[in-house]
Structure 1
Amino acid sequence: MALLKDDNLEEVLGYYGELETKLEDGSCYSKKLLLNYYGNKQLILMKMNQYDLALYYGKLSISEQGNDYIMYLNNYSFNLSKLGRSKEALDLLIEARPFARQMSNKYNRTLFISSLMKSYNDNGQYLNSRQYAENRLSIYEKDILEHNWNKFFRTYIETLVHLEEFKQIKKTIRRYNLIERESQFVKNYMSFSYFKWYLALADHKEGIITEAKFLGGIRKETDRMMATYQIEPSERVMRLLGASMKRTIQ
């Protein structure tokens, strides 16, 4: 929970410093605890935008393939991507695919699927991302809809936008009731209606709505969320929409 509050991070990091001493001298040690410590310290440092230092602890967290290996690997690969090392992240995730297939933890497995899709996208391998996403969806549809559906479908639709598969975007949003799911999601989390934006983009690309209506809807929601919650939309989503429109969206 401390990771959700930026003003607690320095204090938490101080406690981790005290714990590190005990882990190093062996007075408080177990392999699982040590890996968990490394993994959590990476997350704290990433939250503080200290990605280089976080990477050091992230690498230590994946030194053993334990029960939480995939969870730590997902975070480590994300950190690599933040540092512009997307190819390294992709290579690690591809190498871990056999391990991930054997996992019984449905949450971590579906998270891994989304991480690998994103990594394919980060490396411009959109066809590989689509093929992998649709293959995994055919096998793990129930699990994906129960765990990490938002992350999976946002990444999948990102892939489809890059491929300009706008009919498939609309088909996917409707088949899996993503607008309805999202409306429930944003009631509990401060988030934007990204699936509505993607549906509107597809409608615009098919000539159903004008550019002015498409952009106006985004600006209206962005202004409302800034005024109410002081939060801005995902830079990744805005860059993607802008690239699809061949212009900067402000």
Structure 2
Amino acid sequence: MAVKKKLKKFSEYAEKILPHEASYLLGVENFEDPEKKSILEKIAHNSNNFNRAESYDTSIDKRKYTNLKNWIDARLDDINVDKHFEWINEMDRKVMTDSITPEDELLLLKTIKSYRHPIYNFMKYYELMLNFRHFLLIRLRYDDHKIVNQFITAYKDPYDKAREVNQKLHQATVDIIDQYSLNNTESRHWESWLTDIFYNEQLDGNNRYFAIIRLTFMYFNYREFDKLKTLYDHLDGLLAKGFFYSRRILYNYYANRLMLHSKFDVLQQAEEYGYLSIRQKNADHLQYLTNFSSILLRRGKIDEALSLLKESMTEMKISHNFHNKIGFVAFYVKCLNLNNQPQDGERYAESFLRINKEHVLAKRWYIFFTAYLNSLLLQEKYEKVIHTCKRYGLLVRDREDQKKPIYLPTIRWYYEMSMYMEGRIAEDKLIEAITTSGKDYLTNHHKSSVIQDLLDDLQIHVPHIIKEIKSSLHF
């Protein structure tokens, strides 16, 4: 029984190993013991097949499991860029507050002697050495000062370059986010530069990773998913070799992979990445959970999506990130709608809107009102749809958004259909309105698929009209 308990504990530990961690560990191990190697290989297998995990061999000496766990922790800690960042900050605090110990000093000097450029947190490390140089010189520590000063002099140009890149990344971010939020600027001119930064192996990892995150945002803005897939395939190889490693970064990568696979309609893989992305709660957990829930809905797993969202309701309520809060609420309402609870969806949406009206209208009005209006349509509250569109100026916002690459005519179609159902426009006007705008999306595979789903939703209200529209659009 003792062995089983130990293996149970080890199994729980091993379940948390992520696929890219396992790939890295397999790449650096050189075990002479075939049993240790077989355990590691099973960890790797299970990390990629968590729905078909294999049991660990209870006949192997339990001490080997303990030793392997210690080895795994040590290997991953060695390359963990977040832990290194924390260590740099702690050393810097000790230097600046004169609380550094002789042992700390020896360790800092040792890191200089073993330094291999570039490291992920190069800028922070360089700035630590700048402060350490002051600390040493004022205390007449000439020999140690010489070692630190030589490092600072040798890497001054790479540091200046890294700072320049980091500052330029901020301007790129401003343009990319403005394009996403306000549609008042272009960001295409950053594409080549950001790509060069990501592929530049002489630059620090932090700037390189910042570059691919901004490229991710930009390619989603322009709906250029093939380009993004090429970048992510390269990034995948780097992560498997231990570059840019921390669990925070891996969770972010898995969440982005989920979105990318969803755009290619590879929903099973998107779901697998979704499970990985929500394993640990962090500042982006609500966003990851919302994206994952959207995949579960597309896979028909409504109960599972609803359960996940309900479990995280408290987390949503205390969050100050309204971009994530609104997305969460929109998908919660959508889940309720799909679960034949549109009345509950309506009530929850109205309650949230009453308290957070300014944030909803300023940030993510489209995703919120799409879910809310759908809850009204499912209850055949067509007059309320019309009233809501007019009250919040949704048609004006819709016209402004038509210029955006991400635009879809969902709100307008909801409004036009409600106008028809209330006898305010004729059948031919409804057909013309939907057909004319629908033609704009026939050449875009992703949008064409979304439009078909939208027409399917509307068909329950006006089946004969939607059938004619589908025929006209060749759906």
TM-score by length of 2: 0.49
* Match of residue 402 from structure 2: 186
* Match of residue 158 from structure 1: 374
Moved more, 80-89 or 2-11: 2-11
Separation of aligned partners in 2, 1:236 and 1:228: 16
What does 1:81-230 align with in structure 2 at a 5 Å threshold?
81-189=297-405, 191-223=407-439, 225-226=440-441
Separation of aligned partners in 2, 1:222 and 1:175: 26
8 Å Cα contact 1:183-1:193 kept in structure 2:
no
8 Å Cα contact 1:117-1:129 kept in structure 2:
yes
Residues 162-214 of structure 1 show CA distances to partners (whole Å, capped at 9, x for unaligned) of 11001110110000001111111112336344333222222211222222221
8 Å Cα contact 1:16-1:41 kept in structure 2:
no
How many residues align? The count is 246
What does 1:19-34 align with in structure 2 at a 5 Å threshold?
19-23=238-242, 28-34=244-250
* Match of residue 293 from structure 2: 77
8 Å Cα contact 2:239-2:245 kept in structure 1:
no
Shift in Å, 1:219: 1.5
Identity of aligned residues (%): 28
* Match of residue 235 from structure 1: 452
8 Å Cα contact 1:126-1:162 kept in structure 2:
yes
Distance 1:234 1:228, change over 3 A: closer
Distance 1:192 1:29, change over 3 A: closer
Residues 70-102 of structure 1 show CA distances to partners (whole Å, capped at 9, x for unaligned) of 010011111111211111011101111111001
Separation of aligned partners in 2, 1:194 and 1:42: 24
- Corresponding letter in the other structure for 1:236: D
Residues 103-130 of structure 1 show CA distances to partners (whole Å, capped at 9, x for unaligned) of 0111111111111111111222111111
* Match of residue 64 from structure 1: 280
Distance 1:28 1:183, change over 3 A: closer
8 Å Cα contact 2:251-2:277 kept in structure 1:
yes
Distance 1:234 1:227, change over 3 A: closer
| Structure 2 unaligned blocks of 5 or more | 1-217, 471-475
- Corresponding letter in the other structure for 1:123: N
Residues 215-241 of structure 1 show CA distances to partners (whole Å, capped at 9, x for unaligned) of 122112223x15897864622321122
Task: Verify: 1:15 aligned to 2:234, yes or no.
Answer: yes
Distance 1:189 1:203, change over 3 A: same
Separation of aligned partners in 2, 1:6 and 1:78: 18
8 Å Cα contact 2:413-2:434 kept in structure 1:
yes
- Corresponding letter in the other structure for 2:359: D
Residues 109-160 of structure 1 show CA distances to partners (whole Å, capped at 9, x for unaligned) of 1111111111111222111111110010011111111111011111111111
| Structure 1 unaligned blocks of 5 or more | none
Separation of aligned partners in 2, 1:40 and 1:126: 30
Separation of aligned partners in 2, 1:184 and 1:147: 14
Could you list the structure 1 runs, at least 4 aligned residues long, displaced by more than 4 angstroms after superposition.
226-231
SS of aligned partner of 1:84: coil
Task: Verify: 1:41 aligned to 2:257, yes or no.
Answer: yes
Shift in Å, 1:41: 1.9
Moved more, 132-141 or 202-211: 202-211
